[in-house]
């Protein structure tokens, strides 16, 4: 692996496993118990939504699954609530808190570096892909930004929906951002939240272009991979799963031995009257080279991992994976975008005989990883992606209920 630029990509959403729908209903109220009309009620990760009536009531038909409900109304904090729909109608009342964001903005001192940090956030959240270049963050003013210089950590939060207009894929994304973190020392990005997708309006020609770009964005994505894995079709749909095994570097002595020798030799040389110099082949140069060696080395096992070995069934609606080392996932039906290949420090090392297929790795953080039939992941902190999936962010995402056109699905 050539880079430590890593991403946890969260896709939270419901899953549907039966044809019959059940009614989710309730009332959106304020703290006084009064119904609130005109509140938007959304299903995270989908294009399913409604608006409360004059009494604050709403209804949504949903198939059985695990859903995150998002609610928005001007003047109130955006809220989310998880609900499970199984085999009967569900009633869910939601209570809003009044927003104090506008009051807080009056008292917060302007940060001269705020624009710089927001630009960092946009690169790490929306992305740097060709699709990201056609995205616009409509309301950056709702972001609460903090940068800790001592820890080199950027954190971003908001109590309102972020609005991202994606003119590459034809979506308007409303994203309730729970948390965003970028660690400048480890270069790890983590964010979690709840997206809702709306189709942009466009001409027939523009919609045709969007459809093609959505196909490209979906195919080979982590969403596609886990959906194919659930359906036991990962191999048929172009994914090769290998293992990247990490081992200690046999050429590097322990840190204690290295540091002791560097200290001894440095002390000996600084005791001389002449200036400290390093020459090729001397002892101090030798130990400094040893210190700069990587602690571990990675060995790629080319033997494909069988889906039946990797995937475990928890129940009919959810499956899991558990593994050691890293999964090395190759998507063979698309090549790397030149924009990705030209970015220094992103690409994953590959064997010399392997074409420029899209390659990603998965590091396990919390075992096991639970996932649904639609490709969504249950726990946002269970994995870290690197490689191609780390490069593709919100700008290259599609809704969890996205379906390939019939003619493409048949060829897949």
Which whole number is the average pLDDT over 138-155? 94
Sign of CA dihedral 300, 124, 394, 21: positive
Q: What interhelical angle do 255-270 and 283-292 show, nearest 10?
A: 150
Closest CA to 25 of 66, 74, 62, 76: 62
* Bigger pLDDT: 142 vs 346: 142
Question: Tell me, what's the pLDDT at 251?
Answer: 76
Structure tokens belonging to residue 44? 């995270």
Burial of 377 (0-12, 13-18, 19+ CB in 10 A): buried
pLDDT for residue 50: 93
107 pLDDT higher than 50: no
Percent of residues, the chain, with pLDDT higher than 90:
56
Asked if pLDDT for residue 114 goes beyond 80, the answer is: yes
Percent of the chain with pLDDT over 70: 87
Higher local confidence (pLDDT), 193 or 12: 193
User: Residue 130 pLDDT more than 60?
Assistant: yes
Mean pLDDT computed over 321-337: 95
H runs (alpha helix) in 130-282: 204-218, 222-230, 255-270
Q: Does residue 12 register a pLDDT over 50?
A: no
Contact 62, 21 (CB under 8 A): yes
Instruction: Give residue-wise pLDDT tens across range 186-222.
Output: 888 988 888 999 999 999 999 999 999 999 999 999 9
Q: Say what the pLDDT of residue 282 is.
A: 62
pLDDT for residue 322: 94
Instruction: Compute the distance between CA of residue 396 and CA of residue 242 in angstroms, rounded to an integer.
Output: 25
User: Which has more pLDDT, 231 or 342?
Assistant: 231
Enclosing H/E stretch for 364: strand 357-364
In DSSP terms, 207 is beta-bridged to none
Checking DSSP bridges between strand 144-148 and strand 161-166, what pairing results, if any? unpaired
DSSP 305-341: PPHHHHEEEEETTEEEE--SSEEEEEEEEEEPPHHHH
Average pLDDT of the residues in 380-385 = 86
Question: In 3D, which of 346, 351, 348 has the Cα closest to residue 359?
Answer: 348
Q: Are 78 and 160 in contact (CB under 8 A)?
A: yes
Phi-psi region of 318 (alpha: psi -120 to 50; beta: other; left: phi over 0): beta
| Whether the predicted pLDDT of 233 surpasses 70 | yes
**Structure-block tokens of residue 180:** 């965003």
Residues 17/64, Cβ–Cβ less than 8 Å: yes
Q: What span, in angstroms and rounded, lies between the C-alpha atoms of 38 and 29? A: 11
Does the structure show a pLDDT above 50 at 105? no
Rounded to an integer, what distance in angstroms lies between the CA atom of residue 32 and that of residue 333? 56
Residue 122 token pair: 């946009």
Using DSSP, state whether 358 is helix, strand or coil.
Answer: strand
Rounded to the nearest angstrom, the gap between the alpha carbon of residue 114 and the centroid of all alpha carbons in its chain is: 24
Cβ-based neighbours of 236, under 8 Å, separated by 6 or more: 228
Is the pLDDT score of 274 beyond 60? no
Q: What is the chain's percent helix, strand, coil content, to nearest 5?
A: 25, 35, 40
Q: Is the peptide bond before 368 cis (omega within 30 degrees of 0)?
A: yes
Closest CA to 164 of 121, 207, 202: 121
Q: So what's the pLDDT on residue 269? A: 58
Judged by average pLDDT, the poorest of 8-17, 96-105, 240-249 is 8-17
Over 90: is that where the pLDDT of 166 sits?
Answer: yes
Residue 41 confidence (pLDDT) above 70: yes
Q: Are 57 and 64 in contact (CB under 8 A)?
A: no
Distance of alpha carbon 261 from alpha carbon 329, whole angstroms: 41
- The pair of structure tokens assigned to 231 is 């359906």
The b/e string for 89-120 (b: 16+ C-beta within 10 A; e otherwise) is ebebebbbeebeeeeeeeeeeeeeeeeebbeb
Judge whether residue 337 has pLDDT over 50. yes
């Amino acid at each position: 692996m050539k880079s430590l630029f890593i991403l946890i990509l969260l896709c939270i959403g419901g899953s549907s496993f039966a044809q019959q729908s059940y009614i989710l209903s309730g009332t959106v109220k304020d703290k006084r118990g009064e119904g609130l009309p005109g509140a938007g009620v959304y299903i995270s990760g989908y294009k399913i939504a409604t608006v409360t009536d004059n009494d604050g009531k709403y209804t949504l038909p949903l198939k059985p699954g695990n859903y995150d409900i998002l609610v928005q109304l001007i003047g109130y904090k955006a809220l989310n609530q998880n609900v499970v729909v199984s085999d009967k109608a569900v009633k869910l009342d939601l209570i809003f808190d009044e927003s104090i964001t506008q009051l807080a903005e009056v008292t917060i001192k302007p940060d001269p570096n705020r624009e710089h940090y927001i630009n960092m956030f946009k690169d790490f959240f929306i992305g740097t892909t060709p699709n990201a270049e056609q995205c616009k963050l409509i309301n950056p003013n709702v972001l609460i930004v903090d940068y800790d210089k001592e820890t080199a950590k950027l954190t971003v939060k908001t109590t309102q929906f972020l609005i991202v207009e994606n003119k590459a894929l034809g979506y308007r994304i409303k994203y309730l951002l729970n948390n965003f973190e970028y660690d400048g020392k480890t270069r790890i990005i983590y964010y979690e939240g709840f997206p809702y997708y709306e189709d942009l309006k466009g001409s027939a020609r523009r919609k045709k272009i969007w459809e093609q770009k959505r196909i490209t964005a979906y195919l080979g994505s982590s969403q596609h991979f886990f959906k194919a894995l659930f359906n036991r079709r990962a191999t048929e749909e172009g994914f090769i799963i290998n293992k990247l095994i990490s081992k200690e570097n046999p050429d590097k002595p322990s840190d204690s031995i290295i540091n002791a020798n560097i200290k001894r030799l440095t002390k000996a040389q600084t005791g001389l009257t002449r200036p400290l110099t390093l020459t090729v082949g001397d002892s101090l140069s030798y130990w400094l080279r040893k210190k700069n060696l990587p602690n571990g080395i990675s060995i790629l096992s080319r033997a494909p991992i069988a889906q039946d070995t990797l995937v475990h069934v928890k129940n009919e609606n959810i499956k899991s994976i558990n593994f050691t080392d890293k999964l090395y996932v190759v998507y063979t039906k698309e090549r790397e975008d030149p924009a990705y290949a030209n970015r220094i420090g992103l690409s994953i090392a590959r064997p010399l005989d392997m074409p420029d297929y899209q390659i990603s790795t998965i590091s396990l953080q919390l075992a096991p990883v639970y996932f649904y039939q639609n490709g969504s992941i249950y726990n946002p902190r269970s994995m870290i992606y690197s490689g191609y999936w780390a490069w593709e962010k919100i700008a290259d995402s599609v809704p969890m209920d996205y379906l390939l056109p019939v003619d493409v699905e048949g060829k897949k």
